[in-house]
Amino acid sequence: MAPAPLLQTSAPAPPSFPQKAFMDVAEDYDGQYRFAPIQESQVSRAMIKRYFETMYDRAVSDVVIVGAGSAGLTCAYHLASTRPELKVTIIEANVAPGGGAWLGGQLMSPMIIRKPADAFLREIDVPYEDEGPFVVVKHAALFTSTLLSAVLKLPNVVLMNATAVEDLIIHEDFAGKQRVAGVVTNWTLVALNHDTQSCMDPNTITAPIIVSATGHDGPMGAFSAKRLVSAGLLKELGNMRGLDMNRAEPAIVNNTRQVAPGLIMTGMELSEHDGSNRMGPTFGAMIGSGIKAAKEAVRAYDAAKIVDGKVVG
């Protein structure tokens, strides 16, 4: 028997009105523009019902991606579009997803992407100017907004923004080894105010595969890499080295991998984990690393025996 819906409401039906006649005259921009009638409670219930049904459903996910920057969003797009049966849940601490990909470098808008990562631009239909070994998107926001829209259109993707990952769930697995088994979440405004209020406990999401894309060190950057150290799963951070584009970009893509059981790392967080170079204002490695992370997630997921979001073999 199918489970009952999470939220049963007795919301009153919206007021009836002659819809066809209303629509015929509603869009009058000469002082008579009107909206369909509504009750304030309908707005609240429409949001609450969907948001908390989503939280209920995604308490067990197939893959959780931490961070909705360029690497995390690319990973989400490739993973969710190639494996539509998987529940892909993205957690983003900021209100606005996109990370540092809304601008190019030094607050300038053009985005530089080295070849062959330009193939991804064609896949998601982002125009660019070809400069030989690299291409230029006229505004980084064009890339980011197009990718974000493409990700959110996928029916198996959920994005929870303004939501912080406060910790990792770490269990002893079937073989007696420590395994990352999910994330500990809270609303970001709560996470930022633990020192100003009394105890405000978090929530959890269980998932067999976590992809961490929290970026290089910063207020919430390199979160999983730093937590691996404090949890004893990593001896020490490699710490990001100085800028060298030609060394940095292939290192990030080629070293995208499962850095601990259940935890795949992608994007600039790897520079802190591995001690690789930064590449500065060029984004090809973020695209390539995101795609590789998606492939690694599929490989790890398919190799595991999973029951109710937990790896049991």
Annotated binding site: 71, 92-93, 100, 165, 201, 216, 268, 278-280
Q: Are strands 203-206 and 178-187 parallel, antiparallel or unpaired?
A: antiparallel
The 10 Å CB-count burial string (b at 16+, else e) for 7-22 is eeeeeeeeeeeeeeee
For residue 98, give both structure tokens: 């996109």
CA contacts within 13 A on the Cβ side of 122 = 8
Cα–Cα dist 282/238, whole Å: 22
Q: In the block, which residue shows the tokens 């994005």? A: 159
Query: Known binding site for substrate: residues?
Result: 71, 92-93, 100, 165, 201, 216, 268, 278-280
Instruction: For 222-246, give the DSSP string.
Output: THHHHHHHHTTSSSS----EEE-HH
User: Would you tell me how many other CB atoms lie within 10 Å of the CB of residue 171?
Assistant: 16
Cα–Cα dist 274/262, whole Å: 18
Dihedral of the alpha carbons of 167, 172, 174, 176, in degrees to the nearest 10:
140
Q: Are strands 88-91 and 129-130 parallel, antiparallel or unpaired?
A: unpaired
User: Would you tell me how many other CB atoms lie within 10 Å of the CB of residue 105?
Assistant: 15
